[in-house]
Amino acid sequence: MVDDHDHLRYAYVSLIRSVSVARHRTSRLVAVVLAVALLVLVAGCTTDSGPDVTPGERDTSPESSPIGSPLPETERPPEDTQPSGVSTTLPGEDSHFGFMHPEDAYGEAADLGARWSRPHPGAFIWGEVEREPGQYDWSRTDRAVKEAQGHGFNLIVTLWPYAEWDQSRCRTPLPEDRAREFRELGRYRGPPCDLEAYREFVRRAVERYDGDGVDDMPGLKYPVRYWEVSNEPSMQEELTFFTGTPPDYFEILRATHGAVEAADPDATVVQGGAASAEHETADFWEEVYDLGGAQYFDIANVHSIGLESYDLYASKYATFLDENDVEKPFWVTEAQYSARALGRDRLSPEEWADYITKSFVRAYAAGAQKIVYVGLTKSPGDLETSLLLRGEKQVPYHAYGTMVEKLDEFTAVEKLEEGAYKFTVEGREVYVLWGSSEAPAELSGPVTVTEVDGTETETTAEELELGEGPVFVEGR
């Protein structure tokens, strides 16, 4: 579960990200003052206890085994959990909706119909699994997989290439103030010193969860097939996810892709999320792409952290990929919102319900294949964008659920004009409409109109009246 301290941490991280992206647009002095103020606020709440096992302590759990050694027969899973007991079909793989941190409320997330989970930072941190060379402890990653699969979710796993026993030999640790955020990643966040050892960790991780019956996790229901290579590697100042260069990340990307493919040819490699496609972030990724990085991932990946929420950065990112000759589909794996980025002090929950729906629709039309929402519980962005607060369903919760019900697993989307979008869902057409325009000419006769709160009315296309709030319209 994510407690109040963690939510303060994510709020701080969100501000720092926004400061990093926005510093070319606003006064750096103002940005720094804001960041320091919030840092002081969270400093008193920081009680991160660090790893559960003392670094260097040899793990003796059944999930541990030395490099090159298969599990003893007594520790192998029962025969019925080998390939005959593992589904090769991922439930909801075609779903376009997911959450970051659905482990906060997996039940409610499943009720909404979303089927993708992106824990952040998650359990797949090299040094947390392989605490010393050759000793693997999969207990935490097993719990994460079992919890997600118990609720019917597919995981987008983030692989972190950091192990203190590896990097302490050749890298410099982060200063304490920079290592404080996401402390579980460790003090060392550079490229691996022993790339072969990292590659072996990745190979073993993918092998354990690929569902092929060889050294699989006991009780695996279906494969884990989506592997993201680190996160926001260009973020290296106020918030630090990586301290290497673009060529360093390129080598990590290439090594990860090779290990994933060797263990599971059916698996998918996701580029580490880009914090944006502007300024230093754009420079970082352009160099990775110039080195040939696009051949080592299957899905490109961008984050929308409030500054570009009109269409969740999708249109700008699509242009960026095109300009760099990257012909890959892309996902938005972090979507959160800020009223201040819209020039407002706050929006009401009802206004956010409309705005979130519109931004998702625009993003899908601009090419985003999947969108991972950050604010399932107590959003680190604007609190009013939370779907759940203290366990209570908020106005945006119902809007999100309506959107999933009406649009999920769509196979095509077309922008007819601003405020008029056509989705093809299970062979039928679903229109999302708002604004002053009339119903599309191709829509005629009796229609069902669904408001974002799920309320349905019957009318005709000719009598349809539109407003600023989006509605879902289907022919009858």
- pLDDT tens track for 274-301: 998 888 899 999 999 999 999 999 999 9
Q: Which of 279, 287, 300, 289 is nearest to 246 (CA)?
A: 287
Predicted local confidence at residue 18, as pLDDT: 54
- Total domains, the chain: 3
Q: What is the pLDDT of residues 141-151, one digit of tens each?
A: 999 999 999 99
Average of pLDDT values for 454-458? 98
Omega into 77 within 30° of 0, i.e. cis? Answer: no
Predicted local confidence at residue 278, as pLDDT: 87
- Considering the domain architecture, whether residues 120 and 202 belong to the same structural domain is answered as yes
Q: Which helix (H) or strand (E) holds 323?
A: helix 314-323
Q: How many other CB atoms sit within 10 Å of the CB of residue 418?
A: 11
- For the entire predicted model, the pTM comes to 0.86
Query: Residue 177 and residue 5: Cα distance in Å, rounded?
Result: 17
Q: How many other CB atoms sit within 10 Å of the CB of residue 79?
A: 9
- Considering the domain architecture, whether residues 130 and 90 belong to the same structural domain is answered as yes
The CA-based dihedral angle spanning residues 84, 158, 106, 92, taken in that order and rounded to the nearest 10 degrees: -50
- Considering the domain architecture, whether residues 22 and 163 belong to the same structural domain is answered as no
Domain contains 216: yes
Q: What is the pLDDT of residues 294-349, one digit of tens each?
A: 999 999 999 998 877 999 999 999 999 999 999 999 999 999 999 999 999 999 99
- Considering the domain architecture, whether residues 22 and 155 belong to the same structural domain is answered as no
Domain enclosing residue 439, as ranges: 428-475
Domain contains 375: yes
- Considering the domain architecture, whether residues 460 and 331 belong to the same structural domain is answered as no
* H helix intervals, 86-213: 106-112, 126-129, 139-150, 164-167, 176-179, 195-208
- Considering the domain architecture, whether residues 116 and 233 belong to the same structural domain is answered as yes
Predicted local confidence at residue 61, as pLDDT: 42
Q: What is the pLDDT of residues 36-66, one digit of tens each?
A: 444 434 344 444 433 433 333 334 343 443 3
| Whole-number Cα distances in Å, 282 to 128, 171, 246, 402 | 31, 26, 11, 35
Domain contains 66: no
In the structure encoding, which two tokens stand for residue 275, read together? 């914090």
Q: What is the pLDDT of residues 211-227, one digit of tens each?
A: 999 999 999 999 999 99
Helix axes 4-22, 28-43, angle to 10 degrees: 170
- Considering the domain architecture, whether residues 284 and 135 belong to the same structural domain is answered as yes
CB within 8 A of 151, min separation 6: which ones?
A: 102, 106, 107, 109, 110
